Amino acid sequence: MDLLRFFTAGNVDDGKSTLIGRLLYDSHSISTDIIETLTRQSKTRGENTTIDLALLTDGLRAEREQGITIDVAYKYFSTDKRKFIIADTPGHAQYTRNMFTGASTAQLAIILVDARNGITDQTKRHSIISATLGIPRVLLCINKMDLVAYSEERFNEIVSEYNVFSQLIGLNQVDFIPASALAGDNVVHRSERLDWFKGLPLLEYLETVETDQREQLEAARFQVQYVIRPQTENLHDYRGYAGSILSGEFHTGDEVQILPSGLTTRISRIESNLKDVPSAGKNQPIVMHLEDDLDVSRGNTIVPKNAAPVTERSLEATICWMDHAAFNSTQKFLLQQNSFRTKAVIKAVHSKIDIHSFRDLESDGSLNLNELAKVSIKTAEAVSFDPFRDLPKSGAFILINENTNQTVAAGVI
């Protein structure tokens, strides 16, 4: 079944958690025992409604007590037509790092706007991060239409304003839906109070929206996670390379290249679930066998001979700084790209990105929590990568503090 990954973002109190709660509740994607638990919690909180739908995604007790969503809450559900993974990201400006993380694997961004307030700086910030990460499609969900008397005129005003802004930052595929998450209008069921809107309600939109067509064109990429050498009496000569295929397809007999060494060979066997298979595709865990006995280790990338990625020790990237401690130019890092890891340093901070205007700001060389910046990175070993916009899994990485082992930045190449 087809899978759609999307994330929600918006200002604080724009109704992100309520929207997802309504989506899950009205589509009957919640078990009876969870509904009973949430009903009790809602009554304890003194809610006027039978159930506080926002509790479905507010996963931390602290955030419930404060009435805000702090972390990225992931939810999984499915209908007869499609499976879904939702990331509900924070609305606060100081949690840009959480949104950057939640949005990095998404195929669709749902950005909520309060119909009373219209387009705000936060709306622009979330849109700019979507543009930076190359999210293929953006849906502007204009929520709380019940508080503007379901006004078609107000909806059209917001659509017109956002269309101008989205063109400035390069968002090409933008859709709009008016809704009221609290009242249930246009979330799962079409609303009679919004009968002037001829588009689809949210769930039907999610079930039918086209997913990223890039996946059909992605080159084959496989990164070794583990080298299997049992060296038992029965499997004396067994040598397999285990991992999940990052993109594309591999077939037995394919001529491949091992990176970064550049050595070439052919695939002799592909194992999946302890059985030999003629081919395997994206996200499938396999054990790959090669015709020649080559020096292949964890983190090496196996690719088609005639469709190799860039392999270099110098990277130009956009990063989001995630550490509470400011960047120090003498810092040394570990760059982690899937199972590949190497030592790295940030050679230069070229510019910072204004997340309200999308302009490049002159850099003073510093980096603070939640800031986005364009940087140059030098690595100890060559990194094999594709541009993030072409192949996200190959073009994304994190930087780890070598001393504390804490993730300090996430980046896209």
Strand partners, 384: 311
The pLDDT assigned to 61 comes to 40
Separation between Cα atoms, residue 296 and residue 227, nearest integer Å? 8
330 - beta bridge partners? Answer: none
Q: What percent of the chain has pLDDT over 90?
A: 39
Which residue in 164, 161, 190 sits closest to 177, CA to CA? 190
Has residue 63 got a pLDDT over 70? no
- Higher-confidence residue of 358 and 16: namely 358
Plot region of 348 (φ>0 → left; ψ -120 to 50 → alpha; else → beta): beta
Q: Do the Cβ atoms of 303 and 291 come closer than 8 Å? A: no
Output the average pLDDT for the chain.
82
- Name, of 310-314, 323-327, 389-393, the range with top average pLDDT: 310-314
Q: What mean pLDDT is predicted for residues 164-176?
A: 88
pLDDT digits (tens, 9 = 90+) for 282-302: 889 999 999 998 989 999 999
Strands lying side by side in the sheet with 73-78: 73-78, 83-88, 3-10, 108-114, 137-143, 174-178
Residue-wise pLDDT tens digits, 178-221:
998 888 889 888 888 999 999 999 889 998 988 655 555 678 99
Separation of alpha carbons 103 and 111, rounded Å: 11
Please calculate the CA angle 205-208-211 and round it to the nearest 5 degrees: 105
- The pLDDT score that the predictor gives to residue 229 is 85
pLDDT reported for residue 32: 53
Indicate the pTM of the whole model: 0.77
Peptide bond into 387 cis (omega under 30): no
pLDDT attached to residue 65: 43
Q: What domains sit in the chain, N to C, each tagged with a CATH number?
A: 3-211 (3.40.50.300), 217-304 (2.40.30.10), 310-412 (2.40.30.10)
Closest CA to 89 of 52, 119, 126: 126
Residue 94 reports pLDDT greater than 70: no
DSSP E strands, 156-296: 174-178, 221-223, 226-228, 240-247, 249-251, 255-259, 263-272, 275-276, 279-281, 285-290
From the list 225, 267, 233, 228, the residue with the least C-alpha distance to 249 is: 267
Quote the pLDDT of residue 67: 42
